[in-house]
Amino acid sequence: MRPIDTDRSLIIDINHSLCKQKKSDRSKMGAMRYSAEHKQETRSRILDAAGKLFRRDGYGGSGIDGLTKAAGVTNGAFYGHFKSKSEAFRAAMLVGMEELRQGLVHFKGKHGARWLKPFVDFYLGYKRTCELGDSCALPSLSPEVIRADEPTREAYAAELQRIVEEVAAGLQDGSATQRQDDAIALLALLSGGVTLARAVPDPALSERIAKVISRRAMAMLAPAPTRPGR
C-alpha cells in the first residue's frame, strides 16, 4: 500500500472546508442582497400605490387595507416600512413633488432656453386630462397637506422650495429674487389652473381654462421689454 500523505490530505481537507465556507458566505451575501432589493421593491410598490390612491381618493378616503391591496402587499409588510398612514402620505407626497422637479429638469435639458412653452403645454394638456391617480402632486396633494401634521407640512415646504429654485434657474430675466417670485407665481398659476379645469364637468370649459392659463403664464414670463411694470 502507498503511504498516506498526511500533509496533502490535510491541505485537501482545509481547501474543501474553505471552499464550503466561501460558498456559504456567497449564499448569505446573495440572500442579503435579495432581501435588500426585495425590501426596496416592496417600499416602491407601496409608495406607488399610495401616491395614486391619495391623489384619487384623498387622504380621508384612502385606508391601509385599500392601500395594501392596491400595492399587493400585506398589512404587516406595510407596517414594516411605515409607522402610520400619515407617514406613508408624507413619503408619497415627497415622491410626487420630486417627480415634478425631475420633470422640470427633463424639459430644461431637452428644450434648453425654450423649455417653458413645452412644459406649460404638457402641464395644461396631459397633466390636466390624465387619470387623477397619475396627476401632478402639486394640485392634487397640496390640499391634503394643508390638513396634515407639522412634519409633513415642513417636508412639503422644503420640497416646494427646491421646485421653485428649479423653475427659477430656468428663467432668464430679473434678479435671483425676481426669478424666484416669478417661479412661485408660475407654479401657483399652473396648479390652480389645473385644479379649476379638472373640477368642471364641461370639457369645453376645462379647455378654455387651460388656454387662458397658458396665455397668462407665457405673457407673465415674456422677455422684459414687453412685460408691464418692469
Domains of the chain (ranges plus CATH)?
1-82 (1.10.10.60), 84-225 (1.10.357.10)
Place of cell 427659477: 168
Neighbours of 189 (CB within 10 A): 17
**Closest to 77 in 3D by CA, of 44, 113, 109, 123:** 44
Reading the block at residue 129, the C-alpha cell is 386630462
Q: What is the DSSP code (8-state) at residue 2?
A: P
Amino acid at 217: A
Euclidean distance between CA atoms 218 and 185, whole angstroms:
12
Q: Are 191 and 182 in contact (CB under 8 A)?
A: no
In this prediction, residue 40 carries a pLDDT of: 87
The model's pLDDT over 114-131, given as tens digits with 9 standing for 90+, comes to 999 999 999 999 999 999
Give the residue, 98 or 230, on which the prediction is more confident: 98
> Could you read off the pLDDT of 18-70 as tens digits, one per residue?
556 655 555 555 545 557 787 888 999 999 999 999 999 999 998 899 989 99
pLDDT for position 34: 52
**For the residues 185-194, what does the mean pLDDT come to?**
98
pLDDT of residue 31: 47
Q: Which residue has the higher pLDDT, 7 or 81?
A: 81
Cα–Cα dist 115/99, whole Å = 17
Asked whether the predicted pLDDT for residue 16 surpasses 70, the reply is no
The span from the CA of 211 to the CA of 142, in Å, is: 23
Report percent pLDDT > 90 for the chain.
71
Are 145 and 93 spatial neighbours (Cβ–Cβ below 8 Å)?
yes
Amino acid (1-letter code) at residue 17: S
| Neighbour count for residue 80 (Cβ, 10 Å) | 13
Per-residue pLDDT at 8 exceeds 90: no
